Amino acid sequence: MSLNPPIFLKETEENNSKFVEIQHSQTTSIAAEDPLQNLRLASQEVLQKAQQSGRSKCLKCGGSRMFYCYTCYVPVENVPIEQMPLVKLPLKIDIIKHPNETDGKSTAIHAKLLAPDFVNIYTYPCIPEYEEKDHEVALVFPGPKSVSIKDISFHLQKRIQNVRDKNDDPDRPSIKRKKTEEQDLNDKCQDATLKKIIFIDSTWNQTNKIFTDERLQGLLQVELKTRKTCFWRHQKGKPDTFLSTIEAIYYFLVDYHTDILKEKYQGQYDNLLFFYSFMYQLIKNAKCSGDKETRKLTH
């Protein structure tokens, strides 16, 4: 008896293999076309209804807005807050917004709406003082001195060690420190955990003014992994790796979750893209159908 399988079985196996390859290729292609399709999001029915009914009133300032008020950082009347997801974050986020950044076009507001207990937005030149907390705060900004997310804890620990070495310098005059100062130093040495991350919300051409501010100098700089943006207001002449603010926040948290917290990512922060993904799909559909009214959202 021949030990070789029948010819038709070989053909079946080859066909199945080709089918798997084609299916994988199609899946990869679809994912490339719609990178937001696999998010674990809350129901967006409330946004669908709001989009159909049109602009609504802000219950704080009375302004007419779509989905949310970008001045008051609250959803409008036809988007009940109890129907919006709330996202719990592992650390605090400060967003420094350029004064020339148009409020209605900023995606930073999405983070404040969806994680209000963890996110604060400041309009430059208003910046909190970070000098005494530079061992627990970092700034997301690319550059030669930037470190990767996985190396954040190591570099924060080095900062703490530098403070300890400075205070243990035998050449320093022996001055009795206050008890509170000693306690502050001990606290720093025990905790090298990142507690706050800062993002700059502006066009790339405007970032330098904020980045070079002395209040941000000396902070640990963190650079994100390279990813492509889905933003419909892509900056002209800039590469597609320039992310919108909400994308940068989202991707930072995803990488922080896996690289620092060492936990499997299971969509914990996907709802930060609740508004973003809906508007992305809305505009994508509008471009395909030629719907001029919906396309106004891009301008």
Please determine, for residue 195, whether its predicted confidence score (pLDDT) is greater than 60.
Answer: yes
Measured in residues, the chain has a length of 299
Residue 120 CA to residue 113 CA, distance in Å, equals 10
The pLDDT value recorded for residue 30 is 38
DSSP-H helix ranges across the chain: 7-33, 45-53, 108-114, 152-167, 179-190, 207-211, 245-259, 274-289, 292-295
On the CB side of 51, CA atoms within 13 Å amount to 17
CA angle, corner 24, sides to 23 and 30, nearest 5?
Answer: 90
175-179, 249-253, 268-272, range with the lowest pLDDT: 175-179
Please determine, for residue 242, whether its predicted confidence score (pLDDT) is greater than 90.
Answer: no
Residue 260 CA to residue 190 CA, distance in Å, equals 17
The pLDDT value recorded for residue 189 is 42
Residue 121 CA to residue 200 CA, distance in Å, equals 10
Please determine, for residue 22, whether its predicted confidence score (pLDDT) is greater than 80.
Answer: no
Contact 240, 229 (CB under 8 A): yes
pLDDT digits (tens, 9 = 90+) for 61-110: 999 999 999 999 999 999 999 999 999 999 999 999 999 988 888 999 99
Average pLDDT, the chain: 82
- One-letter amino acid at 100 equals N
- One-letter amino acid at 5 equals P
pLDDT digits (tens, 9 = 90+) for 202-226: 988 889 899 999 999 999 999 998 8
The pLDDT value recorded for residue 21 is 44
Please determine, for residue 124, whether its predicted confidence score (pLDDT) is greater than 90.
Answer: yes
How far from 289 is each of 63, 278, 285, CA to CA, in Å?
Answer: 30, 16, 6
